Structure 1
């Protein structure tokens, strides 16, 4: 591998940006396509599907064998609210290799006993997301689960600004309508607000906290594995 290509891949990795290394197996030529360049690339559709799957592998284009090496940042899940649903969701998400952080200023709820092995941040989201929690980006999912606008709204606002790949919020349609009004008054466009999955989770008739956690995690995985503007890989 040429040093300039290695340097480019390292720079993208350090910045938590995805990239795909394309290697021509016949001639050995290599090039890097950064995520922001995929849509304009001649292999754009194929690269978008490959990135969404997160898997490297062989491909053939016009009879030429290629190897596509996918480099994507580790996915993070920030859960806002140390509630019963969060207790069920955290270990499920960890089992899928998501890096889980739970934020809740209510220290009676955000305890190691209730969340063993999970990164806990007992701060208000606007404070936590400004320093204690790694910076949000498009490889982060945010699930707001407290029902308390003072806690949920700042986290949702930060997630929308960061263009997180998934933003979800617990609550009824009536609750969400009030949330939409608040976010609109805060300057968010209808298109941005529409990115919030609310009521959160897939519609599977979930009732118990573990069932709701399954619905949320299924929705997160679907969002992660769907190319922008495409269908699930």
Structure 2
């Protein structure tokens, strides 16, 4: 790999930007693709980025091109160190997510309840800017406390998180939308909140709800059709 290409790739990875190195197998010619729009292999590169899988494709001339995919590890940030989070956090970690939990209530956000998880016993306004939410971050509001969840939702929407979900009934969510709207969150952004959170699998226990949330996050990340 050329030094300039390697330097650009490392810069993209440091900035948590997705990138693909396309190598023509017959000539070893390489190029770095940071934005597939307009690229001759736009569709193939988009599919590769969505699946996060490298592989060989053919260009318009029938030549074999190897797409080496580099995507940042996904993150899951939760507000609310609650029972659902006790299952959701290790489940997400087992799927390769970097997990962080934000909850100022120190009685809940303890290492004993959440081993091997980044805990921020702070208010979201303090903790979330340091966590660097981005387009590869999933965010779930679980605390049931507007003082904790609302600032987190506003931050996640403003940062373009690929998934934003919130626990609560439809009535609870309607009141939440009014509060966020009063804070200046746009209607288009509010429509991105998935609530009630999780896929409709009939979940009842905290552990089952955690499974439904992780399933929905996975579907959104991989751009599956959810029928919602």
Please, what TM-score do these two structures have when normalized by structure 2?
0.95
Cα displacement (A) at 1:32: 1.0
In 2, distance between residues paired with 1:48 and 1:71? 12
1:214 paired with 2:215, answer no
Partner of 2:22: 22
1:188 paired with 2:185, answer yes
Partner of 2:13: 13
- In structure 1, the gaps of 5 or more residues are none
In 1, distance between residues paired with 2:77 and 2:173? 20
Cα displacement (A) at 1:231: 5.6
In 1, distance between residues paired with 2:80 and 2:28? 50
In 1, distance between residues paired with 2:199 and 2:37? 28
1:144 paired with 2:141, answer yes
1:171 paired with 2:159, answer no
- In structure 2, the gaps of 5 or more residues are none
CA offsets, 1:124-164, max 9 Å, x none? 11111133xx2111011111001111000111111011101
Please, what TM-score do these two structures have when normalized by structure 1?
0.93
Instruction: Name the stretch that deviates more: 178-187 or 86-95.
Output: 178-187
CA offsets, 1:59-80, max 9 Å, x none? 1123100000001011111011
Query: Which structure 2 residues correspond to residues 1-233 of structure 1 after superposition, within 5 A?
Result: 1-34=1-34, 37-62=35-60, 63-131=62-130, 134-226=131-223
